[in-house]
């Protein structure tokens, strides 16, 4: 980390000299010389830092030497940044920068700013530099006694982009399938006596994969379908019952004030859990004090019969203290599984080298101690090692000599850490400020890296893009894990393994500090996370803090003593009445300010004096009603987060001066801020919603936004406030406004809302502007025609009251011109709230040849969809796989079959003819009927030969199930929920039980009431999953010939039932039952 810090300082010193010449910002005599001497000394030290950082692991004196060096580096960085800020302030204020000539005597002849005050500042800067240089000279003289080795620096890290499966799917879990099946069986079984919710514990040393195994179980399909709710809670250390309780209540949909008392919270927790079929995972439990656990366990025991708790812990004592019904002790991987795991990572994309490197690879694997975490870390490192010599260097590296408490883990992690380029080391160790097990937002982390100056400039490349590269490289090397992705596959959140978090804290123990409710002691701390601080004044001893995460409101009074902050994250809570004080302007180095989720109504005007501010996060500030008038002074602002600020109805005039802005999710026209303010914001990226467009005067004013120059925008939302005016002049004015908002051709998503024009603009209708558009949404518009767009993949149309017919003309296709035109890439089409739509005369075979998903909702006058009802069309080329019909009471279906590839059919409320009779289908796998008011299910269910899943929800008038369900031998799952009459009839012993008893998995009102396990007689050996531990009733096991084995839960025996298949007697041992199947 010191390596990267010194690299940054050297770069800044050189940049400082260049800027001095470029800007003609001269220094007083001697200062330039001090800068050059500092730079030269730092370069000499930098040459040996790689070796010094390795030696500090074992040598305390080296560690102290490095800390002193970092102190000096931080101090010079602060001085240079202060100088840069002063120049920036003068430029923003409209005052010319100092133009002190090379001659010493010219200073007094300049403007007032460049006279006494400027000279005083120069002398101060020069004096501080000289003091720092003297300290650095002492440090440099001491380096020789350590005999450090000079190492070559890796200035560039290979650019690596994450593929579709390279991060979260970089490896398959090896050697844990049996444990997974056992635990799943424990969770989905029923037991006859359940005074308390059973606890299943996963126990093992760090790095064995306890959390990974728990995640596999948590996301298992059988587990997901079995429980009403699943809750994942990271416990960690120290144990905090209040925090855990709040987390569980939030997961279950509850809410509470931030200052809720424990008794009220505990009651709320009990009520949230009461009667629900829950799976609660308590990950990484450490505390062995039963009294501390008791209130939480008492609440968890209120779950419905069948609920389960899963605990992961390193301590078997914790597992037994929790009263575990089953303890799954994880063992080290076998040698074969270890090699399989290592090779699946290390040889990814280079299988041809496996034979050549297998011998040395197996020796490296053995050094990892058969621990999955260590194997994964080293395997990820080896991806970047190209030659055999590189592999042997790793095998014989001295990092293996560093044995920690968990042998095999620390050396492997250090090996991976020391192999990182210096800038990646710094980015990784910075993560020590986050709590263990925290879900970290990728975007936030990259902006924090940027605020600290960690992102090395690469020409014109955006620092955010550089940060994304750094993140991808660390992810590829397995420093990050548990990735959460958005719908497009982009990582949005992640976690850091406990061991890697410990490593980061060990490497930065005097620099990065995370603490809870402790008194602050640490004058050298640079990055601090403190939820609460016992004595807030104690933080003043560390006046060099650069990052502060806190929920301590009293910190707001200490801004004058925290002037070196680069990043400030304030979690003040929704119930806080705090006001951001004017003294915030003292934070002159601040780059990142996070105030999201607070109740702030306004910001002080002085915040606009933070000239270095790059990111200002105000999302979810529900009470925020205005921004400071001087926002235009924040010339370095790149990201303004104002999502979900419902009361923010205006933006300040001058927002258009923020030409560096990349993120602005919404722009509100009016209140002195006209749409022309967007003109110079050509660097805007991602999503932009422009609201209150009806306030724009005309087309010419709309053009002033110059949206067609916004080449980095991908998602544009144009929103008017609806008015019912039908006056020609008003309609034409609004049409002109939309015409003037032509976007750049790089746009991917477009949404238009509440547009009263009778036609869409030419740039929409021509098809030549939106050639990259993939998603189009139109809400509440008066137009009757869209356009032909070849690139379109998803189209959503809602509330177009003037549309009565959908035919070729609706998409701008002239069916008489003899030219076949289509929307060739369209896969998803959704119609909703089309009150006057009566006729659908569109042949989707020709117009939408790739359509897969069709939704038609709330079209009360629609009578038919010929494209689906035309048998010839259906049988020839229909590609529809998902069909949803809701509230279309007049919709008829005249053909005898469904589309040939249809897999999912959803019918909601009154879906017309389809609720009376379902046509035949050989492809339909899932049928859902929701909110229907009919007294019986549709006829024709017996014709659905491939149906595997039937869901019936909220059908309160449904009286019974049809007999024909007995003939659906392919049906594997039946779920009935909130059907007052049908629900009781489908319980065991109910009137309809005989109709459905053959279905393997039946769930009624969130509870599994029947499970049958089927085996194919192919010689496979496995586990008897669910039914073997069905304590209180008999179950059936069916073999391939439908012959039956009986099992009685009270006796715990299973006997041979067929001549063709012999099942040995199975003994029950603490309900951990195994069996053998012989042919």
* Band (910; pLDDT cuts 50, 70, 90): very high
Residue 909 in any domain: the answer is no
Q: Do 371 and 268 fall into the same domain?
A: no
What rounded mean pLDDT belongs to the chain?
A: 80
Residue 109, Cβ density class (10 Å: 0-12 exposed, 13-18 middle, ≥19 buried): exposed
Cα distances (angstroms) measured from residue 253 to each of 249, 269, 921, 966: 6, 11, 39, 38
Domain range for 227 is 179-329
Tokens 């030549």 label which residue? 768
Q: Is residue 740 part of a domain?
A: no
- Segments of 204-325 assigned E as strands: 229-236, 278-285, 308-313
Place of tokens 């005898």: 896
Return the ∠ at Cα 823 (arms to 820 and 825), rounded to 5°.
Answer: 130
- 759 secondary structure, DSSP code: S
Q: What is the pLDDT of residue 946?
A: 93
Helices (H) and strands (E) in the chain, counts: 29, 39
Same domain? For 355 and 465 the reply is yes
- When comparing pLDDT for 209 and 799, which is higher? 799
Residues 351 and 299 in one domain: no
**Cα separation, 1079 vs 1060, whole angstroms:** 7
Which contiguous run of DSSP H or E holds residue 248? helix 241-251
Residue 257 phi, psi (nearest 5): -70, 155
Instruction: State how many domains the chain has.
Output: 4
Give per-residue pLDDT as tens, 530-560.
Answer: 877 777 777 766 678 999 998 888 888 888 8
Provide the H-helix boundaries in 933-976: none
Average pLDDT over residues 212-233: 89
Query: Is pLDDT of 97 > 60?
Result: no
> Same domain for 376 and 261?
no
The b/e string for 932-959 (b: 16+ C-beta within 10 A; e otherwise) is beeeebbebbbbbeebbbbbbeebeebe
What is d(CA 889, CA 835) in angstroms, rounded to the nearest whole number?
12
Does the residue 164 lie in any domain? no
**What pLDDT was estimated at residue 91?**
78
DSSP state of 187: H
Q: What pLDDT score was predicted for residue 236?
A: 75
**Please, which pLDDT band fits residue 1020 given cuts at 50, 70 and 90?**
very low
Q: What average pLDDT score do residues 494-516 get?
A: 84
Gap between the Cα atoms of 98 and 109, Å rounded: 11
Q: Please name the residues in contact with 177: beta carbons below 8 A apart, sequence gap of 6 or more.
A: none
Site of tokens 């192919």: 1018
Residue 230 pLDDT greater than 60, yes or no: yes
- Asked if residues 897 and 877 have their Cβ atoms less than 8 Å apart, the reply is no
**Which whole number is the average pLDDT over 1007-1036?**
41
321 and 356 share one domain = no
Spatial distance between the Cα atoms of 655 and 653, rounded to a whole number of angstroms: 6
Average pLDDT of the residues in 788-792: 82
Per-residue pLDDT band for 204 (boundaries 50, 70, 90) equals confident
Structure tokens at 1041: 């010939």
User: CA end-to-end span of the chain, whole Å?
Assistant: 62
The residue written with tokens 């990646």 in the block is 424
Band (pLDDT 50/70/90 cuts) for residue 706 is very high
Same domain, 324 and 361: no
Q: Give the pLDDT band (50/70/90) at residue 473.
A: confident
pTM of the model: 0.76
Question: Three-state SS string across 15-35, please?
Answer: HHHHHHHHCCCCCCCCHHHHH
Distance CA 97, CA 571 (A): 38
> What SS3 state is found at 553?
helix
Give dist(CA 604, CA 706) in Å, integer. 31
pLDDT band at 756 (very low <50, low <70, confident <90, very high): very high
Residue 67, helix vs strand vs coil: helix
Whether the bond between 1064 and the residue before it is cis, its omega within 30 degrees of 0, is: no
pLDDT of the residue at 18: 60
DSSP 937: P
pLDDT in tens, 826-850: 999 999 999 999 888 776 667 788 8
- Bridge-based pairing state of the strands 973-977 and 1001-1004: parallel
Q: Which of 447, 482, 517 is the last residue of a domain?
A: 482
Three-class SS state of 61: helix
Do 470 and 346 lie in one domain? The reply is: yes
Structure tokens at 909: 């409320």
Say if strands 615-617 and 882-886 run parallel, antiparallel, or are unpaired.
Answer: unpaired
Question: Based on C-alpha coordinates, what's the Rg of the chain?
Answer: 34
Tell me if 339 is assigned to some domain: yes
CA neighbor of 879 nearest in space, from 896, 856, 903: 903
In angstroms, how far is CA 1077 from the centroid of its own chain?
Answer: 44
Among candidate residues 329, 360, 388, the one where a domain is terminated: 329
My answer on whether 191 and 285 are in the same domain is: yes
CB count within 10 Å of CB 214 equals 23
Question: Is residue 1020 situated within a structural domain?
Answer: yes
Which tens digit of pLDDT belongs to each residue from 959-990?
Answer: 999 998 988 889 999 999 999 999 999 998 89
Task: Tell me what pLDDT residue 821 has.
Answer: 59
Residue 319 lies in a domain: yes
Give residue 696's pLDDT band: very low, low, confident or very high (50, 70, 90).
very high
Query: Is 252 domain-assigned?
Result: yes
Distance CA 733, CA 1018 (A): 74
Question: What tokens were used for 640?
Answer: 């303004």
Q: Quick check: 854 and 884 in contact, CB under 8 A?
A: yes
**Gap between the Cα atoms of 202 and 208, Å rounded:** 10
Q: How big, in percent rounded to 5, are the helix, strand and coil portions of the chain?
A: 35, 15, 45
Question: Residue range 814-830: average pLDDT?
Answer: 71
What does the pLDDT look like over 622-659, one tens digit per residue?
A: 899 999 999 999 999 999 999 999 999 999 999 999 99
Given a cut of 50, whether residue 424 has pLDDT beyond it is: yes
Residue 269, pLDDT > 80, answer yes
Tell me how many degrees the CA angle 643-647-649 measures, rounded to the nearest 5. 90
Same domain for 293 and 200, yes or no, is yes
Tokens encoding 372 = 């999955």
CATH of the domain at 290: 3.40.50.300
Question: 1036: pLDDT confidence band, cut at 50, 70 and 90?
Answer: very low
SS3 at position 174: coil
pLDDT band at 62 (very low <50, low <70, confident <90, very high): confident
Rounded Cα distance between 974 and 997, Å, is 10
Q: What is the pLDDT of residue 704?
A: 96
> In the structure encoding, which two tokens stand for residue 985, read together?
């009839």
Mean pLDDT, range 366-373, rounded to an integer: 83
Give how far Cα 983 sits from Cα of 937, 957, 988, Å.
Answer: 14, 11, 11
Long-range interactions of 525-528: CB distance < 8 A, separation 24+ = 526/74, 527/430, 527/432, 527/433, 528/433
pLDDT of residue 1077: 29
More confident: 115 or 528:
528
Instruction: Assess whether 361 and 309 both reside in one domain.
Output: no
The residue among 251 and 520 whose pLDDT is bigger is 251
Query: What is the four-CA torsion angle of 181, 183, 184, 186, rounded to 10 degrees?
Result: 120
For residue 984, the tally of other CB atoms under 10 A from its CB is: 13
Spatial separation of the C-alpha atoms in residues 1013 and 311, rounded to whole Å: 27
- Domain end, chosen from 464, 482, 500, is at 482
| Residue 819 falls inside a structural domain | no
Q: Tell me what pLDDT residue 350 has.
A: 77
Beta bridge partners of 1004: 976, 1007
Residues 256 and 384 occupy one common structural domain: no
Q: At what angle do helices 335-346 and 372-382 cross, to 10 degrees?
A: 30
> Measuring CA to CA, which residue among 163, 119, 141 is closest to residue 29?
119
pLDDT at 518: 62
Residue 159, preceding bond cis, omega within 30 degrees?
A: no
Shared-domain flag, residues 1032 and 1062: yes
Tokens 């709320």 belong to which residue? 268
**Position 460 confidence tier, pLDDT thresholds 50, 70, 90:** confident
C-beta separation of 313 from 286 below 8 A: yes
Q: Which of 233-242, 277-286, 504-513 has the lowest mean pLDDT?
A: 233-242
Residues 6 or more apart from 998 whose CB is under 8 A from it? 966, 969
Looking at 508-633, list the stretches that DSSP marks H as alpha helix, in order from N- to C-terminal side.
none
- The pLDDT of residue 443 is 96
- At 141-174, the pLDDT tens digits run 888 788 777 766 554 444 443 332 223 343 456 7
Q: What percent of the chain has pLDDT over 70?
A: 81
Pinpoint the alpha helices (H) of 257-385.
262-273, 290-300, 316-321, 335-346, 354-367, 372-382
Six-digit token pair at 620?
Answer: 């979810």
């Amino acid at each position: 980390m010191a390596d990267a810090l010194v690299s940054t300082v050297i770069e800044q010193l050189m940049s400082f000299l260049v800027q001095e010449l470029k800007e003609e910002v001269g220094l007083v005599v001697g200062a330039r010389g001090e800068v050059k001497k500092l730079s030269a000394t730092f370069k000499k030290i930098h040459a040996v830092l790689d070796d010094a950082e390795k030696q500090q692991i074992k040598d305390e004196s080296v560690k102290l030497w490095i800390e002193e060096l970092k102190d000096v580096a931080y101090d010079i960085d602060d001085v240079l940044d202060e100088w840069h800020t002063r120049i920036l302030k003068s430029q923003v204020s409209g005052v010319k920068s100092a133009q002190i000539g090379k001659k010493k005597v010219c200073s007094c002849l300049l403007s007032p700013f460049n006279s006494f005050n400027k000279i005083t500042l120069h002398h101060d800067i020069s004096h501080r530099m000289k003091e720092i240089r003297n300290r650095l000279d002492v440090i440099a003289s001491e380096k020789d006694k350590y005999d450090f080795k000079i190492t070559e620096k890796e200035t560039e890290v290979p650019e690596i982009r994450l593929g579709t499966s390279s991060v979260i799917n970089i490896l398959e879990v090896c050697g844990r399938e049996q444990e997974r099946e056992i635990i799943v069986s424990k969770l989905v079984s029923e037991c006859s006596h359940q005074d308390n919710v059973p606890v299943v514990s996963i126990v093992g040393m760090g790095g064995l994969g306890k959390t990974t195994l728990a995640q596999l179980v948590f996301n298992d399909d059988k587990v997901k379908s079995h429980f009403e709710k699943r809750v994942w809670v990271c416990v960690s250390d120290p144990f905090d019952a209040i925090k855990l309780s709040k987390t569980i209540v939030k997961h279950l949909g509850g809410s509470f004030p931030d200052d809720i008392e424990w008794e009220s919270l505990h009651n709320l927790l009990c009520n949230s859990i009461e009667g629900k079929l829950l799976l609660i995972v308590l990950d990484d439990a450490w505390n062995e004090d039963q009294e501390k656990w008791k209130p939480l366990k008492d609440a968890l025991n209120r779950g419905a019969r069948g609920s389960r708790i899963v605990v992961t812990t390193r301590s078997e004592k914790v597992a037994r203290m929790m009263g575990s019904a089953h303890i799954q002790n994880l063992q080290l991987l076998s040698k074969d599984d270890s090699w399989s795991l290592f090779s699946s990572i290390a040889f990814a994309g280079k299988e041809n080298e496996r034979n050549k490197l297998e011998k040395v690879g197996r020796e490296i694997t053995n050094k990892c101690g058969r621990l999955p975490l260590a194997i994964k870390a080293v395997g990820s490192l080896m991806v970047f090692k190209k030659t055999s010599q590189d592999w042997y260097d790793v095998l014989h590296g001295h990092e293996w000599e560093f044995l920690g408490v968990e042998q095999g883990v620390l050396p492997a992690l250090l090996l991976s850490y020391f192999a990182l380029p210096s800038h990646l080391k710094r980015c990784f160790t910075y993560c020590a400020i986050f709590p263990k097990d925290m879900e970290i937002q990728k975007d936030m982390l990259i902006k924090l890296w940027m605020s600290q100056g960690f992102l090395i400039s690469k020409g014109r490349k955006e620092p955010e893009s550089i940060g994304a590269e750094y993140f991808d490289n660390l992810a590829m090397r397995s420093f990050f894990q548990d990735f959460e992705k958005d719908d497009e596959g982009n990582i949005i959140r992640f976690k850091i393994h406990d061991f890697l978090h410990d490593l980061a804290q060990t490497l930065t123990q005097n620099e990065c500090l995370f603490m809870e409710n402790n008194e602050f002691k640490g004058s050298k701390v640079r990055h601090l996370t403190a939820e609460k601080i016992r004595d807030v004044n104690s933080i003043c001893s560390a006046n060099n803090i650069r990052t502060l995460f806190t929920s301590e409101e009293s910190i707001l009074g200490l801004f004058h003593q925290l002037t070196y902050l680069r990043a400030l994250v304030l979690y003040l809570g929704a119930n806080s009445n705090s006001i951001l004080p004017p003294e915030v302007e003292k934070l002159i180095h601040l780059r990142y300010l996070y105030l999201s989720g607070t109740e702030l109504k306004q910001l002080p005007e002085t915040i606009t004096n933070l000239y270095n501010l790059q990111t200002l996060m105000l999302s979810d500030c529900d009470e925020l009603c205005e921004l400071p008038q001087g926002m235009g002074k924040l010339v370095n602002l790149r990201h303004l987060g104002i999502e979900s600020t419902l009361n923010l109805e205006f933006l300040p005039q001058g927002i258009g001066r923020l030409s560096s802005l990349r993120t602005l999710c919404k722009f509100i026209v009016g209140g002195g801020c006209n749409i022309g303010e967007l003109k110079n914001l050509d660097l805007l990226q991602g999503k932009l919603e422009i609201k209150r467009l009806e306030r724009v005067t005309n087309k010419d004013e709309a053009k002033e936004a110059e949206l067609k120059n916004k080449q980095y925008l991908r998602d544009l939302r144009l929103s008017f406030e609806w008015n019912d005016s039908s006056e020609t002049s008003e309609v034409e004015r609004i049409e002109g406004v939309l015409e003037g908002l032509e976007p750049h051709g790089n746009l991917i998503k477009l949404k238009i809302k509440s547009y009263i024009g009778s036609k869409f603009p030419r740039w929409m209708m021509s098809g030549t502007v939106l050639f990259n558009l993939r998603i189009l949404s139109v809400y509440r518009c008066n137009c009757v025609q869209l356009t032909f767009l070849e690139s379109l993949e998803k189209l959503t149309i809602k509330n177009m009251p003037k549309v009565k017919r959908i035919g070729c003309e609706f998409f701008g296709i002239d069916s008489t011109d003899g030219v076949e035109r289509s929307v060739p890439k369209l896969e998803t089409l959704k119609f909703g709230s089309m009150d006057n739509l009566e006729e659908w005369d569109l042949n989707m075979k020709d117009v939408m040849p790739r359509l897969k998903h069709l939704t038609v909702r709330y079209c009360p006058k629609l009578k038919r969809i010929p494209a689906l009802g035309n048998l010839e069309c259906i049988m020839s080329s229909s590609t529809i796989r998902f069909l949803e019909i809701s509230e279309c009471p007049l919709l008829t279906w005249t053909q005898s079959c469904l589309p040939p590839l249809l897999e999912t059919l959803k019918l909601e409320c009154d879906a017309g003819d389809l609720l009376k009779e379902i046509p035949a289908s050989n492809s339909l796998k899932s049928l859902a009927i929701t909110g229907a008011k009919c007294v019986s299910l549709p006829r024709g269910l017996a014709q659905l030969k491939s149906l595997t899943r039937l869901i019936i929800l909220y059908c309160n008038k449904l009286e019974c199930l049809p007999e024909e369900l007995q003939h659906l031998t392919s049906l594997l799952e039946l779920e009935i929920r909130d059907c007052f009459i049908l629900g009781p009839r489908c319980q065991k012993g109910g009137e309809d039980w005989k109709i459905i008893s053959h279905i393997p998995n039946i769930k009624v009102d969130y509870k599994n009431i029947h499970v049958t396990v089927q085996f194919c007689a192919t010689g496979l050996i496995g586990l008897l999953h669910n039914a073997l531990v069905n304590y209180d009733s008999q179950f059936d096991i069916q073999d391939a010939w439908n012959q039956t084995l009986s099992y009685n839960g009270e006796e715990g025996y299973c006997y041979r039932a067929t001549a063709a298949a012999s099942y040995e007697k199975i003994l029950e041992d603490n309900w951990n039952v195994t069996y053998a199947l012989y042919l």
